[in-house]
Structure 1
């Protein structure tokens, strides 16, 4: 099926929702073919985030090396632009080693940037982000999402109501420039990776099955020490406002530690945000 030495090796992409079985399929491919696994996950890049990201343990990573895992300190933000640069290098290295590049993960923004190109947008504005977060604290994220739907319905249709990070960024771009983020995205640069991927999208036949898996995974993370992981990170430095801490699971634990939600609601909040 795949012959890396033939010169026509595809880029394999395994993606889909959380708890859909992406990692298991990637490992199965690596057992059968000469593959280089390349992570497409905006949280796995961070070295200090392990439990809440469901990061494979050290033994598994030694057996199945993943590019773009544990490459960043949480103090340093990682963007889609960074990913494109790093993924291109990892793909080139895989091909140079006569391996099949297998991109595995669910950060769709990264995949879009890699295969469709990046739009040049206004840079992040810390003050404006704080303003949006303050509005969300007083009005609720539902009101912020409704505002986005009002000013940019195209972008809102692509962003889940629970995806606070992308909602915030879309509104930030609009308020900074007066131009909708969906219009900025239409002006994307040519795709840096021209070859179309072989895309495998994993979605359980019944949504209830997926939701049950997500709920179980959320519970297992808390039982495995997610709260303790976040507490340890907070003892080392101020992390609550870092971009890395917007990741699902970490954000909810911080809300719990700050007294904004009860322990009894924590697993449910993580589950809802993951869906």
Structure 2
């Protein structure tokens, strides 16, 4: 995978608004953007797909008129889009927004995208398909525990940070070692990965779990009412395979299962709401480990505004001269 080029580290102030699905990021993002002269940059791995509007809860045409939005409708559902491309696209969008005299406001819930922007990307060495196939065969025949024991011998540092049940990263670590003769940890240290952004205020939006689950139920009802089933039928009629990564996302795969007759309508709606709640829980687990996130309740609008004002005042103030 070729890594898109990223220009120099962006040091101008950038705002980030994150939180679980359905927590209320859209309304707050519009208020922030209008108050602080921002343009919104999507931080969502699904909203980059064209023709997928209802199930991804994209900003409406009216909301896009109020505030410019970027990184929506970037690729078709059958096109590849990965974190490296997102980091390059988002950094360029931020750079252009700043050049226009506005401030970037990244909004969404895809933690991996934010991690790529703030911590940089690790360029995975090429792995021959023969090595990958051999390890997958061994996994099926010998089991995960034996492969993890092997990793503990050849790359104990990676084994320390990889959970024994994390099959994906276990195989990745062994692939890298077998393909290069060097450990994953060595590659990480050598590459000295660099972030794309350095001056960032991370705002996290949260609410009580029961309230969030009520909001998720309402979100599901709203998507159904707006025509999610019809949107999926249209995507299938356009020739998009139900097995595509984009079509396997929450909402879309549920409608596909209904159309295939696997689930009845009541079961489909129940599973859609349940899986959305589980996704929100995974998002909070991911973001909950971030020490630099300033968390606020949905009702704390003024406190959020004050936090942003303090950040911008500090970021834009000239440094004190020695002796001041």
Q: Tell me, what secondary structure is at the counterpart of 1:48?
A: coil
Match of 1:47 among 36, 46, 50: 50
Alpha-carbon contact 1:40-1:106 (below 8 Å) kept: yes
Distance 1:52 1:73 in 2: 15
Q: How many Å apart are 1:44 and its aligned residue?
A: 0.8
Cα distance per residue 1:79-120 (max 9 Å; x no partner)? 111100101101111111111111010010000011111122
Deviation of residue 9 (structure 1)?
A: 4.3
2:41 partner SS:
strand
Of 10, 15, 20 in structure 1, the residue corresponding to residue 18 of structure 2 is 15
| Partner Cα separation in structure 2 for residue 171 and residue 227 of structure 1 | 38
Q: 1:12-38: CA deviations, max 9, x gaps?
A: 000010011111111001221211110
2:247 alignment partner, one of 245, 248, 252: 245
Instruction: Indicate if the aligned counterparts of 1:125 and 1:172 stay in contact, CA closer than 8 A.
Output: no
- Alignment partner, residue 284 of structure 2: none
Aligned counterpart, 2:295: none
* TM-score, normalised with respect to structure 1: 0.75
Gaps of 5+ in 1: 1-6, 133-148, 158-166
Q: Which of 90, 93, 115 is the equivalent residue of 2:93?
A: 90
Distance in 2, Cα, partners of 1:249 & 1:122: 35
Q: Distance in 2 between matches of 1:119 and 1:82?
A: 13
Q: 2:269 aligns with which of 263, 267, 270?
A: 267
How far did residue 124 of structure 1 move?
10
Deviation at 1:272, TM superposition (A): 2.1
- Which SS does the other structure have where 1:202 is aligned? strand
Instruction: Check if 1:109 corresponds to 2:90.
Output: no
**Aligned-pair RMSD on alpha carbons?**
3.8
TM-score (norm 2): 0.65
What's the secondary structure of 1:198's corresponding residue? strand
Instruction: Give the C-alpha shift of residue 211 in structure 1.
Output: 1.0
Q: Which deviates more from structure 2 when the two are superposed, residues 84-93 or residues 21-30?
A: 21-30
Matches within 5 A, 1:32-181: 32-121=35-124, 170=169, 173=172
2:28 alignment partner in structure 1: 25
Higher CA-based Rg: 2
Q: Deviations over 1:35-63 (max 9, x none)?
A: 11101011111111011011122222122
